[in-house]
Structure 1
């Protein structure tokens, strides 16, 4: 695929709730909340086994700490016995001093072990709670998406409780399938809460906005409202995002707000979809005056694969400081299914960094099924 296949798209379809295409302005509250029950699969999310494994690991770490300190206390008791035996042949004064030292060491050891065990337990609980909160925000991908296969994986950075605001969502709307991938600035519960608010806005607005510019404008307005409603000291709150619309036979539509360019896989080649003109991150439109969003059409044929990631993948570094070669690696797995591509990519990024991610990583893979490949629900 070459650059000239990316073309500006203008949607002139009439709508009772349209503004000038892709402009940000004050707007009335959306009609009543939409029932999104059709967008959620009753199946268990694919990433839940991964969550359980990670929680088991945290509990195991706490248990190992307890065992380690139990061994330490045992050794200190053994040392105490040895000192007692040695001091038994000494005078009363030396014996008293030895016993005082032993009691002090024992008390210090018990206090230190109790404190560290409590800290480890609290850390494990905080990690668990934050991970569960993040995974609650990330709804499972709808199971029934005729014509497409989609897989998504999220892996938090292995740095205590610093879970970030990576987000992705897939919605089946009356206008067609809509996909969001984004990354909120910052870490912790604040970033997760902002991501949750933006994804909720996306899931609802996707049912009312036929075009991506209108959808991006609603997200911009929502994050600006978060800042306006926020109590406490001022805080810069913004997010990168990329939006996709899958509702044309041989094209997808795309709009990027400062997000990492996705990769388009076709015929054993990987092409970076860097748009001719992109918008700034959500939450920064006020710095640019009137913001007009533009969406672009990209050729997307049966068998094509779209790989979308957050900067936790593209900016991952190895111990020597080299960035992860995203396009070079992904093309190796172009023949695999979306789930395998996502798994291989996450595993490879983790190996590239020496086993520890320094930033959260999210991967979303969309494959357009070949025409002759039936949908699983219709297979014999």
Structure 2
């Protein structure tokens, strides 16, 4: 977008200055010089300063001055100070509008720069998940709560480690750069510990220590960790996160809850016991969907929550990415637009039985 173009938004704002000046000119001609509408021509550059760049505001101001001169001559106002006062009013408003447009353009450029940096940082953090990892197919979906925004507080990762396929999906408190910073801490600790720790509890403790050491204040992260080995089971570790959805081969669903609910990452007291791991059968042909509360707490216009458990038929699509995209589009239709909170979903399909090996990208 250049300085001559209006910012993105309703097109009506771009035509408002011309429309206002045209209406004032018609009314002034019809009413005659006794009404005194000439100073209102300054509304044209005033609106232009709100809806366009400084060049556009200057052009509208010049047109307003020409219109002011034309109407003043038509009404014979330049024999009195009234015509010159109207011109001074238009020129002053144009100057103020240009200054306001310049200041706004600078703020927008700074905001765009910060947003661009944050988006690059988040793309580095949230790398594409592998298409296959061990016995699993993986697909991920992320929908921001703000239209056209890609900066949020959700995180995910899939790692094919020597100890099995290890997965994390979490929801960071807050948004923007602070959320990206928190996600970096969690993902960095998870990626390193996923290869080193022989069991899922040790992996969770490593992530918890990193979060407790790095985060300040009352920031926290709800998360669920999963480990899929070669025994047709999934081990889950839940830090205050919504229970994942397990879709069986017959289409039935289950939401396996932890034995006891635990606090999110970053809120546990030093030395306190973490969540207890629990195991759930997970066999070939079955699907495991991890998601953030932006999915299940999404409401339609009547305030009804999104019925995730009733949408498993959308996951019958053979291609995992298309199936997850169909679920995402259904969520957007349910809310009538972007959901009220960031919504991340990670779909794992057990497509064959084998020992987990290095992740494949093909």
**TM-score of the superposition, structure 2-length normalised?**
0.76
Deviation for aligned residue 1:256? 0.7
Deviation for aligned residue 1:165? 2.4
Write the distance in 1 (CA, Å) between the matches of 2:72 and 2:114. Answer: 47
Report SS of the residue matched to 1:362.
Answer: strand
Unaligned runs of 5+ in 2: 15-51
Match of residue 129 from structure 1: 117
Among 150, 160, 174, the alignment partner of 2:138 is 150
Write the distance in 2 (CA, Å) between the matches of 1:355 and 1:127. Answer: 22
Among 244, 255, 266, the alignment partner of 2:226 is 244
Task: Sort the Cα spacing of 1:293 and 1:94 in 2 relative to 1 into closer, same or farther, 3 A.
Answer: closer
Higher alpha-carbon deviation: 360-369 or 269-278: 269-278
Residues 238, 275 of structure 2: 8 Å contact kept: no
Deviation for aligned residue 1:201? 0.8
Residues 314, 323 of structure 2: 8 Å contact kept: no
Match of residue 366 from structure 1: 348
- Is 1:224 equivalent to 2:209 in the alignment? no
Report SS of the residue matched to 1:291.
Answer: coil
Match of residue 329 from structure 1: 311
Write the distance in 2 (CA, Å) between the matches of 1:332 and 1:143. Answer: 19
Match of residue 161 from structure 2: 173
| Highest RCO, 1 vs 2 (Cα 8 Å, sep ≥ 6) | 1
Residues 310, 363 of structure 1: 8 Å contact kept: yes
Deviation for aligned residue 1:159? 6.8
Match of residue 84 from structure 1: 69
Match of residue 99 from structure 1: 87
Match of residue 305 from structure 1: 287
Write the distance in 2 (CA, Å) between the matches of 1:173 and 1:370. Answer: 18
| 1:14-53 paired onto structure 2 within 5 Å | none
Write the distance in 2 (CA, Å) between the matches of 1:63 and 1:275. Answer: 55
Match of residue 187 from structure 2: 199
Alignment coverage as a number of residue pairs: 311
Among 257, 263, 271, the alignment partner of 2:245 is 263
Write the distance in 2 (CA, Å) between the matches of 1:126 and 1:161. Answer: 13
Residues 127, 160 of structure 1: 8 Å contact kept: no
Report SS of the residue matched to 1:85.
Answer: helix
Write the distance in 1 (CA, Å) between the matches of 2:5 and 2:68. Answer: 30
Among 267, 270, 274, the alignment partner of 1:284 is 267
Task: Sort the Cα spacing of 1:202 and 1:354 in 2 relative to 1 into closer, same or farther, 3 A.
Answer: same
Deviation for aligned residue 1:210? 2.0
Report SS of the residue matched to 2:269.
Answer: helix
Write the distance in 2 (CA, Å) between the matches of 1:180 and 1:257. Answer: 11
Match of residue 5 from structure 1: none
Cα offsets for 1:281-321 (capped at 9, x unmatched): 1112208x631432111111111111111112122222332
Write the distance in 2 (CA, Å) between the matches of 1:100 and 1:64. Answer: 26
Residues 155, 183 of structure 2: 8 Å contact kept: yes
**TM-score of the superposition, structure 1-length normalised?**
0.73
Deviation for aligned residue 1:130? 1.8
Higher alpha-carbon deviation: 131-140 or 253-262: 131-140
Higher alpha-carbon deviation: 306-315 or 104-113: 104-113
Task: Sort the Cα spacing of 1:239 and 1:371 in 2 relative to 1 into closer, same or farther, 3 A.
Answer: closer
Cα offsets for 1:195-244 (capped at 9, x unmatched): 111111111111222221111111111111114xx5xxxx1121111011
Task: Sort the Cα spacing of 1:121 and 1:369 in 2 relative to 1 into closer, same or farther, 3 A.
Answer: same
Residues 269, 331 of structure 1: 8 Å contact kept: no
Deviation for aligned residue 1:63? 5.4
RMSD of aligned alpha carbons: 3.0
Write the distance in 1 (CA, Å) between the matches of 2:132 and 2:338. Answer: 35
Among 152, 159, 162, the alignment partner of 1:164 is 152
Report SS of the residue matched to 2:128.
Answer: coil
Report SS of the residue matched to 2:153.
Answer: strand
Unaligned runs of 5+ in 1: 1-58
The runs of 4+ residues in structure 1 deviating greater than 4 Å are 70-76, 159-162
Match of residue 30 from structure 1: none
Match of residue 47 from structure 1: none
